[in-house]
Amino acid sequence: MTRVVVLDDYQAIAGRYAHWDRLPDASVEFVTDHVTDRTALVGLLRGADVVVAMRERTPFPADLLAALPDLRLLVTTGMRNAAVDVAAARAAGITVCGTGAPQGPAAELTWALLLALVRQIPAEDAAVRAGGWQHTVGTSLAGRTLGLMGLGRLGQRVARMGQAFEMDVLAWSQHLEPDFARSLGVEPVTKTELLRRADVVSLHLRLSDRTRGVVGADELALMKPTAYLINTSRGPLVDEAALVTALTSGRIAGAGLDVFDVEPLPPDHALRSAPRTVLTPHIGYGTHDTYQQYFTDAVEDIEAYLAGQPVRVLAD
């Protein structure tokens, strides 16, 4: 019998978003805890033929893959996973494949965080529930400037939303094509200019050695004291210690964060008590539509693999 282990099912929902009973002669186990201890993780996965990884919650470096000689198929939700050493998996004879993923939810959450910040919705909601009324004054967006770090598929969606709010939109990335940006009605600028001009800085970059810490103390110092930072991409794009300092000192107006260096965010982390923040627990992709596609596609990948048919193979 094929043993399938579905990791990091925090909300115990993976089982109801797909027909796992379609898998022939397979036992499927759903792990709701995030297992960080290496020895415990190896013990949990020992004997598993198939592992389904939820996003990048559990890394699969070469040494872990080498400790799992029975593993034949690793399925990750989405078609990119920087936490999986795909080349090492291939060398070990492990097939790594992915699933489809809707593009809209993360861009939508970017705007949810931004609107919650500028209109101070969490504070006003709490005040109304406590019997209060009108404690804050919000900031309007029309006529202000949105600065996008990254103009890929998600960045383009956020740009269109910014234009719908009648914002001027700037963009920067290390490989941005100026003419492409202009074709979208977006002004290409340098990183320094973007940080100095933008009323909202929103990150839409892939995490790599080049982009890690792309917003640090120096970058935060360039921002307007009235500007907001939004990160729905990857936590390590931002220097968290520098951000906490900027927030507590009033250097910037606020931050909306869905991603963090360590996830789940440790209970005593300074960001949990930082002022002028809206924090969400990496739910940018977390919609019914997304989970339906993730786990339906995961089942299809496993079915295809077991039947000797092509699967959605990840590139290195």
Q: What percent of the chain has pLDDT over 90?
A: 94
pLDDT at 316 over 80: no
* pLDDT, tens only, 215-251: 999 999 999 999 999 999 999 999 999 999 999 999 9
Is the CATH code 3.40.50.720 the one for domain 2-102+287-306? yes
pLDDT per residue as tens digits for the range 292-301: 999 999 999 9
Q: What's the rounded Cα separation, in Å, for the pair 9 and 32?
A: 4
> Distance (Å, rounded) from C-alpha 248 to C-alpha 213?
19
Give this prediction's pTM.
0.92
Q: Which two tokens stand for residue 193?
A: 């200019």
Catalytic residues: 234, 263, 282
Residues carrying CATH 3.40.50.720, the chain? 2-102+287-306, 104-279
CATH 3.30.2350.10 fits 104-279, yes or no: no
Q: Answer whether residue 315 shows pLDDT above 90.
A: no
